[in-house]
Chains A and B, each alone.
Chain A
Amino acid sequence: MTDPKPAPAKPAARPWIAPLELDPERVDPVRPAEPPPRRSPPVPPVELTPDRVVAVPPGGDDGEEATEDAAEATPPLAALLDRPKSRAGRWLAAAVAALLLVALGFDTADLLQRSFAASVALGAAVALLTAVAAGATLTLVVKELVSLRRLRRIEALRGEAGHLTADGHGGADRFAGGVAALYAGRPDLEPALARLKDAVTDAHDDGEVVRLIDRELLSVIDRRAYQAVLRASRDTAIGTALSPAAILDLLVVLWRNLKLVREVSGLYGARPGYLGSLRLLRRMLANLAVAGVAESAHHVAVEALGGSLAAALSTRLGQGVINGLLTARVGLAAMHLCRPVAFGPANRPSLGRIRAELLSLPKQVL
């Protein structure tokens, strides 16, 4: 609570309606999904002097600019996952995939034919295996698509939350329904959901509903996700410090990061499938490249100090701390990407506590 902000400007005036009292029987008990339109006031015909005319700026009104700002603040997950590829690459991939599929089909048909020719029992067994394989593949693809859709839905929810401001009323119902549907059937979140349902009343405006969802429901998930990140970064730090070979480091870090991302996104209800995880993995590899740089810098520092045993030990520990911090960063990024409401300045998860925890590790080990 630093500087109290003045109330935002009112968007548009509405046509005036005289006060009136109505029959309670006629009241529609359900709130409409859309807020009543705020029409601009009727303007009577009027003649104006041309010198007061101002050119209309291209590109529509402020609302769209706000969207772009919001989009810039948090990189959308879908955009991260589906980077624009060159058209030739896409054609190549599609053609190769089609070729493989056709080849696979031919091979399977051929195999079936030959096994039936050998014996009926063998043929039946192979046919069964084929059916199982086909069914499993289909299931996987469907699951993958569903998980991608879930990611997109969270994405859409976050975009919607950015639009819901203090001036609207009733527009947050759909958003709240979407969030509730996302977390429905999660026994661990049932108390939070019940609390949220109690807290939201008809007197809250859209912005307040979003803030309530943030405070009552998402903060519970935040705490758990933060704990997961903390655990993972400690694991990575210790694992790196103890591992005897560099390649082991890499594997430990990779495995732990992948697990962490799946864990965090699962907590937020956005469990990405294998495809999504692979894409996130690519991002993590970029992070690991930074780890390589940090390692060499550490070596330089140790060399300069004169490679005593303690220095060598501290190199391992230092690497551990840095790898832990990188894991934490990956985890926090996952939190940012999977949250249906963007973090505000007050509740943004900070590296600070994780850093403090990690920096106390060398002391504990030495």
Chain B
Amino acid sequence: MRIPDLTDLTAAGTRLFDHVEGLAGRALERNLRLGVTGLRRSGKTVFMTALVDNLLHGGRLSFLDVASSGRLLAARLQPQPDADVPRFDVERHRAALTGDDARWPDPTRGISQLRVAVRFRTGSTVRRVVRPTVTLNLDLIDYPGEWLMDLPLLALSYAQWSAETLALAERGPRAALSADWRGWLSTIAPDAPAAEEAARRGAALYTTYLHACRSADTLLSIIQPGRFIEPGDLENAPLLTFCPLPGDRGGRGSLWALMEERYDAYKTHVVRRFFSEHFARLDRQVVLVDVLGALNAGPDGVADMKRALETSLEPFRHGSSGWLDWLFGTRIDRVLFAATKADHIPADQHGDLRRLLDTLVADARSAIRFNGAEVDTMAIASLKCTDTVAVEHEGRTLRCVRGIPVGRDRPTVLFPGEIPDGHAIFPPGQEQPYRFLDFRPQPGTGADGRGLPHVRLDQAMQFLFGDYLE
């Protein structure tokens, strides 16, 4: 189910206002809100850092038309439009990635925003007469990937969500992790009178279960509500003291009713606000998917991630409805699914990785295309930190990756396994068919001043906003 456009009049009003503002500003400059979405550990922060750095330096953008045709004048960081959102600290992230002790950024804990102004010469001869140079303001938002999993809640009532969560907690690897919490559930009666102590206890146990899911080896993606893990500014707020309860309805004043009330408040004050302030106004969207991490985690990890992706994409407004856009604001008309960390596998398997991603997001992709938006898939690496090399092994030439794994000093050469056709990811009889090591950035990365090295980031940029740079 998607949210009807007018249920939230404030959001619609904001969009309308944005749009009028956009029309007025279009004469001078263009604005584009790029939504970088992705589950946790999919590489949103690195993607944004690499994208901004490459735009600023412009030396590795062969597939971005505006750069390769020499029309890109320069890009620079600008003050962001929303004054109440912290700034995305691109300098700090870049320094972490390129320093002597290069490492990946710490998990994102809160929301942040950045605006990049790209100045370029127009390509069309007609427009060149009117305005020779144009500025594109590119707005990027970084946020904890855990929060993305809140979006499916918008369409679910407390009863529905409880039922789904309970069913999920009993299955597969989650059963062991949720044992404590489910044990507590069996001791209480949901229709008993509400007691704050019980609510706190339940929420604490549920939060422990979610934390266990997050640190599990199997990379479980469905962790709802996201603020239980990454509370941001809501630490210890009453909004966060609820948990799913069995049953259908509780009487007035019961524990069930209290929890339902808090769940609804969470939805209204946290999820809907987050969505309407940051996601409802997107023009383009890139969905980063850590396919390799899921493969490492095994069949459970892949299935979990697939489901998490599908449900979290539902609330977005994809497609184009022509003149109606004018009234309700823009919709997302291009979506890119990108399998990140493609440099962790040899380059000759990139095509296989892309095909695997195709099968993973097939349903979401066709749903978005049905709504009229363009969709593409790619295998990318925001920061390339390995080389592909050839090695003779038992009479065959193998393509391997050479790089420095996280936690080691010496480079190693790894054959991580071969990504097969989409339908047989985990063939029976092959214990642990993949071993994708985490590599860290090579020392001296980005020292040549051409921008951070990447794999197909320029093609992703061309697809996402190349037409705005015409």
Contact of B430 with A by CB under 8 A: yes
Contact of A216 with B by CB under 8 A: yes
A19 lies within 8 A of B417 (CB): yes
In the bound complex, residues from chain A placing their C-beta under 8 Å from that of B381 are 203
Residues facing A in B389-425 (CB within 8 A) are 389-393, 396-400, 402, 410-418, 420-421
The verdict on A7 contacting B351 (CB below 8 Å), with A13-B421, A21-B413 known, is yes
Q: How far is the CB of B184 from chain A (nearest CB, A)?
A: 41
Give the segment of A29-37, A231-239, A250-258 that binds chain B.
A29-37
Tell me, in angstroms, the Cα distance from A207 to B80 when the chains sit together: 39
Residues facing B in A271-298 (CB within 8 A) are none
In the bound complex, residues from chain A placing their C-beta under 8 Å from that of B399 are 36, 169-170
Is the contact region of chain A dominated by helix, strand, or loop, or is it mixed? loop
Q: B352, B399, B453 — which one has the most chain A CB atoms within 10 A of its CB?
A: B399
Residues facing B in A201-228 (CB within 8 A) are 201-205, 208, 211-212, 215-216, 219
B352 lies within 8 A of A10 (CB): yes
Contact of B230 with A by CB under 8 A: no
Question: How many pairs, one residue from A and one from B, have CB atoms within 8 Å of each other in the complex?
Answer: 141
Residues facing A in B428-459 (CB within 8 A) are 430, 432-435, 450, 453, 455-456
B351 lies within 8 A of A22 (CB): no
B62 lies within 8 A of A4 (CB): no
Q: How far is the CB of A30 from chain B (nearest CB, A)?
A: 8
Checking A22, A24, A168, A203 against B415 with a beta-carbon cut-off of 8 angstroms, the contacting residue is A22
A17 lies within 8 A of B402 (CB): no
Contact of B374 with A by CB under 8 A: yes
By the criterion of a CB under 8 Å from any partner CB, how many residues of chain B are at the interface? 61
A19 lies within 8 A of B396 (CB): no
Contact of A136 with B by CB under 8 A: no
Contact of B229 with A by CB under 8 A: no
B391 lies within 8 A of A27 (CB): yes
With both beta carbons as reference points, the residue of chain A lying nearest to B125 in the complex is identified as A353
In the bound complex, residues from chain A placing their C-beta under 8 Å from that of B68 are 215-216, 219
Q: B389, B402, B456 — which one has the most chain A CB atoms within 10 A of its CB?
A: B389
A202 lies within 8 A of B388 (CB): yes
Residues facing B in A9-66 (CB within 8 A) are 10, 13-14, 16-24, 26-32, 35-36
A18 lies within 8 A of B347 (CB): no
With both beta carbons as reference points, the residue of chain B lying nearest to A212 in the complex is identified as B62
In the bound complex, residues from chain A placing their C-beta under 8 Å from that of B427 are 16
B415 lies within 8 A of A21 (CB): yes
Checking B59, B346, B351, B400 against A166 with a beta-carbon cut-off of 8 angstroms, the contacting residue is B351
Contact of B376 with A by CB under 8 A: yes
Q: How far is the CB of A206 from chain B (nearest CB, A)?
A: 10
With both beta carbons as reference points, the residue of chain B lying nearest to A20 in the complex is identified as B415
Tell me, in angstroms, the Cα distance from A205 to B345 when the chains sit together: 13
In the bound complex, residues from chain B placing their C-beta under 8 Å from that of A36 are 348, 390, 396-399
B390 lies within 8 A of A22 (CB): no
Q: How far is the CB of B34 from chain A (nearest CB, A)?
A: 16
A4 lies within 8 A of B376 (CB): yes
Residues facing A in B324-365 (CB within 8 A) are 342-343, 346-348, 350-352, 354-355, 358
B390 lies within 8 A of A18 (CB): no
The verdict on A35 contacting B348 (CB below 8 Å), with A1-B463, A7-B358, A24-B411 known, is yes
In the bound complex, residues from chain A placing their C-beta under 8 Å from that of B413 are 21-24, 26-27
Contact of B208 with A by CB under 8 A: no
In the bound complex, residues from chain B placing their C-beta under 8 Å from that of A6 are 358
B60 lies within 8 A of A203 (CB): no
In the bound complex, residues from chain A placing their C-beta under 8 Å from that of B434 are 19
Please name 6 further chain A to chain B contacts, defined as beta carbons within 8 Å, in addition to the given A28-B391, A28-B392, sorted by A numbering: A1-B374, A1-B463, A28-B389, A199-B60, A203-B388, A215-B63
List 18 interface pairs A-B (beta carbons < 8 Å), by A numbering.
A1-B462, A3-B374, A4-B376, A4-B377, A7-B354, A7-B377, A8-B351, A10-B351, A17-B417, A18-B433, A19-B432, A21-B414, A31-B389, A36-B348, A203-B350, A203-B456, A205-B347, A215-B62
Pairs of residues from A and B, 9 with the lowest C-beta to C-beta distance, nearest first: A169-B348, A19-B435, A4-B376, A19-B417, A199-B62, A203-B455, A22-B413, A36-B397, A202-B388
